[in-house]
Structure 1
Amino acid sequence: GNFKHLRTLDKKNSNSIYWSPRGRFVVVATVHNTQSSDLDFYDLDFEGEKPESDKDLTANLQLMNTADHYGVTDVEWDPSGRFVATWSSSWKHSVS
């Protein structure tokens, strides 16, 4: 399939993308990093009004929430796509 650029996230150190099981929601996260630990939750099928610049895209990308989990090493979606679990593992890196 073809891929199309949706959005550039300026001033972010995100290094991982976690798609929900059905693909509507996505978590863009910074993992394995003690300097930054952002979690951004996006809806790719937001039902609100599309910005004029995104009218030619099939996706309607909307930032839903932002969270912080210091030292996060793992992010995992629940199979239903309703919940996200994050955790920090000392076996993956030391958290100080």
Structure 2
Amino acid sequence: MVNPQGLTAEERLFALQERFGEALLENPGLVEILPENFVLAVLPLDDPEAARLAMESLPRLQGWSREEGPLVHALFQGGEFLAVVLPQGRVIPARAA
């Protein structure tokens, strides 16, 4: 992934979290399939640095998710939301939700 804005990996992950929030607003069907409470983990498939950082944070998020809700993964490529991986391992493409 090209990083023309010179953002850090943390900033790029935060931007994807914001994009996921926008996707929730744009697609009510997505809200219906997600658990009521969940912990979000974004994973950019085309940004190795940010993906490494996201993967390194998974143990911390898994510990947090026990209290806050299950861990839900949002997959991105090129800044676009591709799919969500539910706690049961079910993958829902963004367009199908």
TM score, norm. by length of structure 2: 0.29
Larger radius of gyration: 1
Higher helix proportion: 2
TM-score (norm 1): 0.29
More strand as a share of residues: 1
